[in-house]
Amino acid sequence: MELHIDDLTVGVDGRDLVHRLNLTAADGEVIGLVGPNGSGKSTALRCVYRALQPTGGAVRIDGDDIWHMPLRASAQRVAALTQESSADFDFTVEEVVALGRTPHKRGNQPLTSAERDLCARALEQMDVAHLARRGILELSGGEKQRVLVARAIVQQTSILVLDEPTNHLDIRHQIELLRYLRGSGLTIVVVLHDLNLAAATCDRLGVLSEGRLIAAGSPDEVLTTTLISEVFGVDVTVVQHPITGDPQILFELDSRRPHRREQTAAPRPVKGKTP
């Protein structure tokens, strides 16, 4: 399924948190949103998974406005991992993961054997099968994060939106999760603060600043020293990864050292175009 964000605007108290954002994620494509804190990334995602209604524009899936769908229908198309995910009740891990099947069930229908197998596979994929009978409130932050990703997997949607999915994860589980996303075949929109992870994971990137789309394109096109300096306010060196060829961002922490800068020009600001 294709996801189209058309002229999306979110206004609060007379101020636009997101201003006329245009973004398209093609079927099976991984699109990353990057930008400073407060740039509108999470706000835009909340409109996609229907936690926040936009004040203008539309979110469309294969042409259908998601805000005109019944909640059950939209939840069968879009699964989300949010920054605010939490559990107020001490469900077991396997119970939390099984909740991902809720959009596909009526009333208190029990899981089918196929659904139980699906949940078991997701637990294995996220390396939390050994925690299945543990209470969710007993887990570390990284363990909870992997459980919530497993819950999103068993929802079996075609579109997955994730807001900082690598939060709390150690390096091994960060890599495993991002490798899963790359190979899942799902249409994915993901917010990542780590620019190197974004470059390695995403087919294309959209850079937001103050609620506006500043640049869009492949990681090679977008992650330049000029753009990073202007948007994030830091000086960096951009090099090629020796194995993958992806851009890698090197941060200089010692201000006394001379800084060598890559000369690639930054993409022009995007106005009304989709990345």
Confidence of residue 268 (pLDDT cuts 50, 70, 90): low
In a domain, 270, yes or no: no
Mean pLDDT, to the nearest integer, of 94-123? 95
Mean pLDDT, to the nearest integer, of 100-111? 92
In a domain, 225, yes or no: no
pLDDT > 90: what percent of the chain? 84
In a domain, 133, yes or no: yes
Range of the domain at 172: 3-218
Q: Which residue has the tokens 């919530």?
A: 148
Mean pLDDT, to the nearest integer, of 86-94? 80
In a domain, 264, yes or no: no
Summarised one tens digit per residue, pLDDT across range 133-172 is: 999 999 999 999 999 999 999 999 999 999 999 989 999 9
Summarised one tens digit per residue, pLDDT across range 163-175 is: 999 989 999 999 9
Confidence of residue 108 (pLDDT cuts 50, 70, 90): confident
- What number of residues does the chain have? 275
Domain harbouring 94, CATH code: 3.40.50.300
Summarised one tens digit per residue, pLDDT across range 193-208 is: 999 999 999 999 999 9
Mean pLDDT, to the nearest integer, of 99-105? 95
Whole-number pLDDT of residue 107: 82
Sequence-separated contacts (24+) of 226-231 with Cβ below 8 Å? 226/264, 226/265, 226/266, 227/266, 227/267, 228/195, 230/266, 231/35, 231/36, 231/207
Q: Report the number of distinct structural domains present in the chain.
A: 1
In a domain, 248, yes or no: no
Mean pLDDT, to the nearest integer, of 206-226? 96
pLDDT > 70: what percent of the chain? 90
DSSP string, 197-251: HHHHH-SEEEEEETTEEEEEE-HHHH--HHHHHHHH---EEEEE-TTT--EEEEE
Pick the more confident residue, 194 or 265.
194
Whole-number pLDDT of residue 133: 96
In a domain, 231, yes or no: no
Summarised one tens digit per residue, pLDDT across range 32-68 is: 999 999 999 999 999 999 999 999 999 999 999 999 9
Whole-number pLDDT of residue 265: 46
Average pLDDT, the chain: 91
Whole-number pLDDT of residue 262: 47
Mean pLDDT, to the nearest integer, of 124-140? 95
Burial class (CB in 10 A: 0-12, 13-18, 19+), 140: exposed
